[in-house]
Amino acid sequence: MEFRYLGNSGLKISELTYGNWLTHGSQVENDTATACVRAALDVGISTFDTADVYANTQAEVVLGEALKGERRESLEIFTKVYGPTGPKGHNDTGLSRKHITESINGSLKRLQTDYVDLYQAHRYDVETPLEETMQAFADLVRQGKVLYIGVSEWNAQQLRDGAALAKELGIQLISNQPEYSLLWRVIEEEVVPASKELGISQIVWSPIAQGVLTGKYKKGQELPAGSRATDDKGGAGMISRWMRDDVLDAVAQLEPIAADIGLTQAQLSLAWVLHNDNVASAIIGASRPEQVESNAVAAGVALEADVVERIEGVFAGLAETDPTLTQMPTGREA
């Protein structure tokens, strides 16, 4: 496992982060989830990402149990705040001081830790003054409950505004967590240049496009039993946008490229994401421990320029690049 600095900070994280968005507390049983976390630790992954909204707080509970007994100083534990939790009342969502303060206390209890290494604004809150949000984050840093501040799916201007306020308050905004893969490249035109300017790294989610880039889904064939595309708890809805013949045709063309350099399609797709020098880590999820072990091979892989050119040529005209598609809520989801 290789490690990279997160933004303009001294914090190093593993090139692959283990995340439990669509799995812990919902898709897989707790014993399997714990086995996946153990597999992540065994391959050298030290960074774990979750959110209070995942499975309505249960994903944090499962991760906290799975990591219990590990040396806390050897881990980087990330969580997020914004989405509705609990009974989803009028103050159970957003980035107000009230919701942030109550959310971190709940997250720390569920994760069984005194602090999180990175606390992330899960989305931008258009209904709360940014000054209120950043001041609340700064207070948590000073209290020692949070070491660093990050965000998720913020556009370039929001990153600039947030970083400026963080600097005024004497704290660091060091990361953004956007979707990024061979099929979804909307951060490249505006978010990445702004992030480099500000000293912010990307921790990217869905680097293998919810499993589509693994090649498991074949045009004209039945969906594999037990795969995300057959999951009615959320997975199928997320993956449906990629289940098109033109996309599946392109994905099939990755197989010989990957084989030429001794990788699987999933490993190649992860290596391509990590080829972007503004990406500090790619988040992987798993429903089986062996998926973690296989994906870990992508860490430290250096792709030659001609290989990158071949890969990107396959998806020319298919990849989404419109920077305005960075996820932006119109209001709180209460």
Q: What are the catalytic residues?
A: 54
Query: Please, are residues 26 and 62 in contact by the beta-carbon 8 Å criterion?
Result: no
Strand 279-284 relative to strand 3-5: parallel, antiparallel, unpaired?
unpaired
If DSSP codes are grouped into helix, strand and coil, which group holds residue 326? Answer: coil
In the chain the first and final C-alpha atoms are separated, in Å, by 40
How far is Cα 56 from Cα 77, in angstroms, rounded to an integer? 18
CA atoms within 13 A of residue 266's CA, in its CB half-sphere: 22
DSSP structure class, residue 3: E
How far is Cα 136 from Cα 5, in angstroms, rounded to an integer? 25
**At 191, which helix (H) or strand (E)?**
helix 191-198
Nearest 5°: phi and psi at 53? -80, -20
Query: Please, are residues 219 and 249 in contact by the beta-carbon 8 Å criterion?
Result: yes
Picking from 213, 305, 298, 206, the residue whose alpha carbon sits closest to that of residue 250 is 213
Strand 173-176 relative to strand 3-5: parallel, antiparallel, unpaired?
unpaired
- For the chain, the maximum distance between any two Cα atoms, rounded to a whole number of angstroms, is 56
Rounded to the nearest 5 degrees, what angle is found at the Cα of 295, between the Cα atoms of 294 and 297?
75
How far is Cα 57 from Cα 67, in angstroms, rounded to an integer? 16
Rounded to the nearest 5 degrees, what angle is found at the Cα of 299, between the Cα atoms of 46 and 57?
40
Task: Give me the amino acid identity at 190.
Answer: E
Alpha-carbon distances of 274 from 137, 169, 278, rounded to whole Å: 29, 32, 8
